[in-house]
Structure 1
Amino acid sequence: MTIVSGGTLAGGLVDTPDLFTIDGDLTLQEGATYHAYVKGPVGAGSDGAGSQHGQVLVTGSGVVGGTLKLVIAAGYTPATGDEIFVMLRNGGSGAFDKVVVVEGSTTMPDQPGAQGSAITIKGKTGTLRYNSHSSINLSSPATAADISIKF
């Protein structure tokens, strides 16, 4: 699956985060957006992945670029130790060009999307991480993520 410039991939809509599985490869081209709704960290809900924030599970390779857009629920403020799983992929490359955080009706200034970038959500700062997994455990996607934000 390829998301072209101007296109959007959504891992859950407002107040309905979900685990979206792509059976095969994913490419997010420059100018594309991955949109995730966040109302809590992984593991805060009954089943972890996809229960508290949108997450994409890619069974093939995931090449990322473009924008990561995080829409934050009114009742959630990250705490130390929280982790938001953005994407789990079976290998891949790239990085988001920027991260856009929306808090309520306010879109915060763009933040960098590079490995190790500081991402601020409701005054709390986490680290954007790109990890490498040579294989993924499809039966337990809540255990790891290739792309995550750790507070």
Structure 2
Amino acid sequence: MVKLTQIDDETHQQFDEQPVAKNHIIEDSEQEESDSDIDEDDDDFDFENETLLDRLVALKDIVPPEQREAIAGLSTSITDLVRSGFSNGGKLLWGLTSGSLLLGVPLALAILSETQLQEMERGMSLEKSAQDVLAPGSEAAFAGERR
């Protein structure tokens, strides 16, 4: 609601002496808004559709420029720190993965071949012991026939 107050001033008296056209005068009743009009204006603004960006833009005028610069500098340094951390972390992870593949794969293949060889030796020894149980001294008989 707008309140009009009368100011007695020398410049005001000068303007009173000049004629004013009728169409430029605004009636007091037209200027004043009723309480229902103000309530309707408040209802027009939808708080549910207000975004976070709208609120941050509104806060721009509240925060002094020095503090805004400090906050911007801090956010820039934090983003740079996080970016460099991810970059260096990725490089470290790449190095560890490459090293483990270069050293680990041949080692795993060597261990696998060694275990296969041990299994073959164990199988041959079991086969030999099974032959000895079934026919003791058969080796001597076969050795004598060959002579």
Question: Is the structural similarity TM-score above 0.5?
Answer: no
TM-score w.r.t. the length of structure 1 is 0.12
Higher helix share: 2
Q: Which structure has more RCO (C-alpha within 8 Å, separation ≥ 6)?
A: 1
TM-score w.r.t. the length of structure 2 is 0.12
